[in-house]
Chains A and B, each alone.
Chain A
C-alpha cells in the first residue's frame, strides 16, 4: 500500500536478536545467582525479617550569650509517629491511640493528612507523650503495628531571655514548604526548622546533620538488631555564640517595664550588639508544645503588637537627632561659621510666609551658635540655617548615613525607614503641592515624612562615634568584623558635631543633662518626636568611651514624652550599669 518496500536485512535481524538473547541471559543469570546460588543467605535474611532504614537525629546547636550563658537549649519530649504502609486497620488503630492520648480521631486524621510524606515514611501525629501514655502504647504494641514513639527535642529558652525577639523560634515543617528548602539538609514534614530570628538566620549552622540507621525488625516492627556497617551517624548542630550580654539585656529590659519601646546597646568598634530589647514582648515558649488557637489570635490581634521586633521592624519619626544631619551639611559645605550666633526669640516666621514656627522653648534661647543649638536642641537656629541648604544635599547626607539602607544585621525581616526626597514629595503631594523650603523646616527637625528603625538610628550614632569608619552591626559574636562604606568628612566637622553632642549631656542647660554620669564621658542627642498616635516618642541616641572601648546606645520610649525627661535618665542608668559591673569585677 505504501510505496516503499521493506528491505530489512537478515543480518540486522540477527544482530537485534543477538542483543535480545544476550540481555535476557544476563538478567536470567543474575536471577539464578540470587535465587539458586545465594538462596540460603537471602532465605535466612527474610526469616529474621527485614531491614528498615530510619533517620537519626542529633541535638540542634545551642545559643549562648557572650559570656557563655546558655540562652536556648534542647529539651527532650516524646512524639508518636505512624508509618502508613504498616497500618493494619487505620480506623481501629486510631481509635486506640485516641483513647490513650485523649486526642480526637478527627484531629489525628487531620495531622495524619497534613504531615503525611509518603507510605514508607513515618508521620508525626502526637507530641509531648507522657510516660503513662508511652507505657500504654508499649502494652498494646501488637495492635499498634506502624506506630512508634520517638524522642524529639524541642527548644527550651533561658528564663531571663525567653521573650527576646531576636532569638526567634522553630516551627514544624509542612510538606508545602519543603520544595523551597535546601535539599541537602534532607528536611521532612514534621521536623522543626528555624522560622524566625536567629534560629532562621543561622538555620544551616544550628541544624544537626541527619544520620541513617539500618535496623532489622521482625514482623511486628520490633527491633531485633542494628546493622552498624552502613549507618551514617548524625552530628549535632554548631553552637551559636551571641554578642549579647544577657545581664545587660535583662537590666535594660527592666528599665522599660510597662513602657513600649526599644533599648539597643552596641560596641562601636566591633559592631557587636550587647543588648536588644523590644517591649512589649511575649513568651517564646508559646511555640513549644501545643498552643491553642485562641492564645494565638490574642497575641496576633494585640494592639501593642508584642510580636514585632521593634528594633528592626518598628518605623518611627527620628525627631531632633536629625538636626545633626543639618549641622553636618552646614559645616562640611562651609555654609556658615559655626561660631556665628543667631537670635532665638522662641518663634520663626519664614520669609514670605504668614505661618509661625515655634521653638520648643517658648521664651527663646537668646543668642545661639551651632554648639549651643545642638546642646539645647534649638529649633529656631535650625529653621533659619536649613534655609541655606538644598533639599537634594540634605537628603543625600541622610542617605550617606545609611537611612535609605538596611543595616544588614544578621536577622531576617529587617525593614528600611524612609527618607523623603524630591521624587517622593512630587509623587505624594503633586508637583506644586509642596515647597522645598517648607518641607526642609519639617525635615530638619526629623519630622514629617521621615521614618527610621531604631537599628538604623543606632548605626547613625555609631557612624558619628567612629567618625565614619563603622563596623557592621551583628549579633553573632564570632562573625568577622566588617565595615560599612566609609563616610568621609573633614576632621573639623566631626569634632564640631561631637563637641555639640558632649554638651547635650554635660553642659549646664543641655537637653540631655539627666543622662550625665560622673566617671564616664557620655555624648548624645535627645529627640522628642511628634507623631499622630499620641504623646511624642522620647529618644536618646548616644555613645561613650569605657575602658578603651566605645559603646553606643539608643533608647526609644514609644509615646513616652520628652527625650530629655524620659529617655535620658534611662540612658544614664545603662552607663551606670557599665561602671557598676566594673566595680563588681574588681571586687571579685
Chain B
C-alpha cells in the first residue's frame, strides 16, 4: 500500500488532499447528473456517459503519470507544435454546429483548442524558467505574450472566443509568479482597462486618477511615465471615436458577430432568465434532489453542462452552492500550495498556469449562470458533463501530480 501511495502521491503531502477534493466534486457532479437524467441507467443518459468518461480519463491519468517531468520539460516545444497542428485538423473535417472546434472520434468529440491551452502553459513555463535571471527586465514579457497571442489567434479562427480568452488567463499569474516587475504587469493590463473604461465618462475619469496615482508611485524616469500615462489616456479617448465614427454600422456588427458567434437575441437572454429563475427559486436549502421544477420541466437549457451550477443551486439551494464553492476554493488553494511547495521552478510555473485555467473556468461559468457575464459555453471542471473537458481536467491533474512528485 505504501508503494501505491508513493506511486501516486510521490512525496507531496498535498496530493492526498487534492484527490479528496476532486473526488468530492466528481461525486457531486454525478449526483446532479443522475437527478436530471430521465433514464439515468441507460447507456445514452448523461449520467452513464459521464461515468464512462471518468473511467476512461482515469486510465489516461495513469498513463500520463508514467511520463517523467524532464521529458515534458525537454519536449515542451514539440508538445506545443503538435497541439498547434492538431487545431488545424477540424478545418479539414466537416464543421460541427458551424464551427471548426471539434474532432469527431465517433464515441466522443475532442476539442484540440483545450489541449493547446496546456501546451501553451508548458511552453511559457519553460521560457520563463530558462530566463529566470532576466525576469526583472521589462522585455521578458514579450515572448510569453507572443506565444499566447499565437495560440489565441488560431483558436479565434475556429471560431471559439471562449477558449481564445481563457488562453490568456494564465499569462499574468505565471508572470507574477515568476517575479516579473509589478509595474510591467500593470503596464500590460492598463490599456485593456482603459478601453473598457472608455465606455463611460465617469468611470474613465476615476480610472484616469487611479492610473495617475499608480504611475506616480512607481519608480523610473519621469518622462517615460508621463508618456505612457498619456498614451493610455489617448487610447481611451480615441477608442469611442474609432468605434463610432471610423467603423460603419455593418463593420461594427461584423466585429460583434465575430466576437460572439452565438449571439442570438432569442437564445442568450432566454438562457439567463431561466438560469436566474432556477437559482433564485432554490432558496436557502433548495427544492430537494430531483425536485427542481425549472430543471425537471426542462425550462433550464443546457443543464447538464453549461448550467449545471444552476441545477445544483435549484435543487440544493444556497447551502449546496456554498459547499461546492468551498470545494472549488479548496481545489484552487491546494493547487497553489502545491505550486508553492514544488521543488523546481518549471513545475511550479506549469502548476500555476493550470490552476489559472481551472479557476477561470470556474469563475466564468459561475458568473454566467448568475448573469454577471455573457453566455459562453465554458464547462465547470470535474462537475459538468462532457468528455473532452473532463479528459483535459484529468490530464491537468495528472500533470500536477507528476510535477509535484520530485
Contacts and interface: CB of A to CB of B under 8 A. Distances in A.
Interface of A: 1-10, 12-13, 15-17, 20-21, 23-24, 27-28, 30-32, 34-36, 38-39, 41-43, 45-47, 49-55, 85-86, 119-121, 179, 183-184, 186, 212, 219, 232
Contacts of B321: 28, 31, 35
B329 A24 contact: yes
Given A49-B299, A86-B298, A5 B129 contact: no
A39 B274 CA distance: 15
A312 to B, nearest CB: 30
Contact of B279 (A9, A17, A31, A86): A31
27 contacts: A1-B406, A2-B69, A2-B345, A4-B346, A5-B344, A8-B177, A13-B340, A15-B176, A16-B173, A21-B329, A27-B325, A31-B318, A34-B280, A34-B370, A35-B280, A35-B282, A35-B283, A35-B313, A35-B318, A41-B280, A42-B277, A46-B293, A85-B301, A86-B298, A120-B267, A179-B98, A219-B293
The 4 closest A-B pairs by CB, nearest first: A42-B280, A46-B281, A50-B299, A35-B318
Interface residues of B, number: 62
B262 to A, nearest CB: 11
Contact of A5 (B283, B294, B345): B345
B354 interface: no
A15 B175 CA distance: 13
Given A30-B370, A35-B317, A212 B265 contact: yes
B367 A7 contact: no
Interface string B328-344: 11001100100110111
B284 A7 contact: no
A32 B132 CA distance: 44
Contacts of B348: 6, 8
Nearest to B403: A2
Given A43-B280, A45-B280, A27 B179 contact: no
Contacts of B347: 2, 6
User: Chain B: interface secondary structure?
Assistant: helix
A179 B301 CA distance: 24
Nearest to B264: A186
Given A17-B336, A20-B332, A50-B277, A39 B257 contact: no
A7 B345 contact: yes
Nearest to B68: A1
Given A7-B179, A85-B298, A183-B257, 16 more contacts: A5-B344, A8-B348, A12-B177, A12-B179, A20-B332, A27-B367, A31-B325, A31-B370, A35-B280, A36-B283, A46-B278, A46-B294, A50-B294, A51-B274, A85-B301, A120-B270
A529 B226 CA distance: 83
B349 to A, nearest CB: 9
B340 A5 contact: no
B336 A16 contact: yes
A38 B282 CA distance: 11
A52 B278 CA distance: 14
B230 to A, nearest CB: 29
A418 to B, nearest CB: 38
A360 B171 CA distance: 88
Interface string B238-257: 00000000000000010001
User: Chain A: interface secondary structure?
Assistant: helix
Contacts of A85: 298, 301
B202 interface: no
Contacts of A43: 280-281, 283
Contacts of A16: 173, 176-177, 336, 352
A448 B322 CA distance: 87
A21 B281 CA distance: 26
A116 to B, nearest CB: 12
B283 A51 contact: no
Most chain A beta-carbon contacts within 10 A, residue among B277, B281, B333, B345: B281
Contact of A39 (B273, B280, B322, B340): B280
Contacts of B328: 24
A35 B176 CA distance: 36
A514 to B, nearest CB: 56
A164 B278 CA distance: 55
Contacts of B129: 2, 4
Nearest to A35: B318
Contacts of B173: 16
B363 A35 contact: no
Contact of A27 (B176, B352, B370): B370
B270 A8 contact: no
B266 A53 contact: yes
A55 B266 contact: yes
B366 interface: yes
B165 interface: no
A354 B397 CA distance: 95
B367 A45 contact: no
A54 B69 CA distance: 55
B333 A34 contact: no
Nearest to A8: B340
A49 B281 CA distance: 11
Contact of A120 (B301, B313, B359): B301
Contacts of A120: 267, 270, 301
Contacts of B282: 35
Given A9-B179, A35-B279, A43-B280, A53 B325 contact: no
Contact of B345 (A4, A20, A179): A4
Contact of B280 (A10, A38, A219): A38
A20 B342 contact: no
Interface string B286-325: 0000000110011101000000000001000110011001
Contacts of B363: 23, 27
A36 to B, nearest CB: 6
B276 interface: yes
A391 B279 CA distance: 82
Contacts of A20: 329, 332-333, 336, 359
Contacts of A184: 253
Most chain A beta-carbon contacts within 10 A, residue among B253, B332, B367: B332
A5 B313 contact: no
A555 to B, nearest CB: 44
A211 B54 CA distance: 44
A28 B73 contact: no
Nearest to B293: A46
Nearest to A24: B329
B70 interface: yes
B372 interface: yes
A6 B336 contact: no
Most chain A beta-carbon contacts within 10 A, residue among B267, B280, B298, B363: B280
Nearest to A146: B298
A11 to B, nearest CB: 10
Given A13-B336, A20-B359, A27 B366 contact: yes
A163 to B, nearest CB: 38
A231 to B, nearest CB: 11
A39 B284 contact: yes
Given A1-B69, A31-B279, A36 B318 contact: yes
Contacts of A39: 280-281, 283-284
B277 A53 contact: no
B11 interface: no
B119 to A, nearest CB: 19
Nearest to B74: A2
A32 to B, nearest CB: 6
B75 interface: no
Nearest to A188: B266
B269 A53 contact: yes
Nearest to B298: A85
A53 B274 CA distance: 11
A8 B338 CA distance: 11
A13 B333 CA distance: 10
Given A6-B348, A49-B297, A53-B270, A35 B342 contact: no
A382 to B, nearest CB: 54
Given A17-B333, A36-B318, A212-B266, A1 B70 contact: yes
